[in-house]
Structure 1
Amino acid sequence: MNEPCESGNGCHVGDELCERGVEYYLNAVRTGQADQLSAPPCLLRLQLLQPVPGTEHTLTPIRPSSALAMLVRPVEEEIHQRQAIAQGLQRALDPIEALYQAQQRPTTDLVMLEGLPAINAAIDDATRRCTTELLTAQPGGGRSSAVLSEALQRCQYLLARGVRLRTLYQHTVRYNPATMDYIQQVTDSGASAEFRTLDELFERLIVFDREVAFIPARSDRQSALEVRNQALIAFLVDVYERAWQRATPLTASSRSREEPSVIPGIRRTICQLLISGYVDEAIARRVGMSVRTCRSHIAKIAEQLGSTNRAQLGYLLATSDLLGESDVTDPE
Structure 2
Amino acid sequence: MTDEIPLLGDLAVKAYETVLQKGRFDDQELATALGADITTVEEIRKSLQDLHLLSPSAPGRAVVPLDPEVAEAELVTPLEVEIGRRRREIGRIHEELRSLAADYRARPNGSPADVPITVLDDVEEVRREIDRARYGCTQERMSLQSGGGRPPGLLEADREHTLELLRRGVRVRTLYQHTARTSLATRTYVQEISRRGAEVRTVDELSERLIIYDRRIAFIPKERTGRQPPGAAVITEPTVVGYLARTFESVWQVGRPFEVEQQTAEYPQVAEEVRQSIIRLMALGLKDEVIARRLGMATRTCRRHISAVMEEMGAVSRFQAGLIIGRENGDVGR
Once residues 254 and 109 of structure 1 are traced to their aligned partners in structure 2, the CA distance between those partners, rounded to angstroms, is: 43
**Counterpart for residue 260 of structure 1:** 268
Q: 1:186 aligns with which of 162, 187, 193?
A: 193
Question: Which residue of 276, 286, 298 maps to 1:278?
Answer: 286
Indicate whether 1:163 and 2:170 are aligned.
yes
How far 1:123 sits from its partner (Å)? 0.4
Secondary structure of the residue aligned to 2:275 is: helix
CA displacement, residues 148-207 of structure 1 (integer Å, 9 cap, x when unaligned) = 01111110110010000000000001110000011122123x22x100000111210000
Cα distance, 1:138–1:115 mapped onto 2, change above 3 Å: same
Tell me the equivalent position of 2:123.
116
Relative distance call for 1:239 and 1:232 in structure 2 (3 A) is same
TM-score, structure 2 as length reference: 0.62
| Partner residue, 2:64 | none
Deviation at 1:258, TM superposition (A): 2.7
Give the length in aligned residue pairs: 219
Q: Distance in 2 between matches of 1:149 and 1:276?
A: 37
Q: Return the letter of the residue paired with 1:183.
A: V
1:292 equivalent among 277, 288, 300: 300
- Secondary structure at the aligned position of 1:253 is classed as helix
Cα distance per residue 1:100-141 (max 9 Å; x no partner): xxxxx9753101111210111110110100000000000000
TM-score using structure 1 length: 0.63
After superposition, residues 179-258 of structure 1 pair within 5 angstroms as 179-188=186-195, 190-191=196-197, 193-220=198-225, 221-255=229-263, 258=266
Q: Does 1:301 align with 2:309?
A: yes
Give the aligned residue type for 2:215: R
Residue 323 of structure 1: CA displacement?
11
Work out whether residues 210 and 237 of structure 1, in 8 Å CA contact, stay in contact via their aligned partners in 2: yes
Q: Deviation of residue 305 (structure 1)?
A: 0.6
Give the one of 123, 129, 135 matched to 1:128. 135
CA RMSD of aligned residues (A): 2.1
One-letter code aligned to 1:222: P
Q: Give the deviation of 1:314 after TM superposition.
A: 0.7
Return the letter of the residue paired with 1:225: A
Matching residue's letter, 2:286: Y
Match of 1:59 in 2: none
Alpha-carbon displacement from aligned partner over 1:206-243 (angstroms, at most 9, x marks no partner): 00000000001223541100000000011101111110
The DSSP-based 3-state class of the residue aligned with 1:289 is coil
Distance 1:141 1:322, change over 3 A: farther
Letter in 2 for 1:290: A
Matches within 5 A, 1:28-47: none
Distance 1:320 1:257, change over 3 A: farther
Tell whether the 8 Å contact from 2:194 to 2:200 is kept in structure 1 after alignment: no
Larger radius of gyration: 1
Aligned partners of 1:322 and 1:211: how far apart in 2? 45
* Structure 2 residues not aligned, in runs of 5+: 1-111
* 216-225 or 125-134, larger mean C-alpha shift: 216-225
Code of the residue aligned with 1:283 in structure 2: it is I
1:146 aligns with 2:153: yes
Aligned CA distance change for structure 1 residues 153 and 323 (closer, same or farther; 3 Å):
farther
In structure 2, C-alpha distance between the alignment counterparts of 1:196 and 1:267, rounded to whole Å: 18
Partner AA of 2:287 in structure 1 = V
Q: 1:257 to 1:309 in 2, by over 3 A?
A: farther
- 8 A Cα contact 1:268 1:323, kept in partner: no
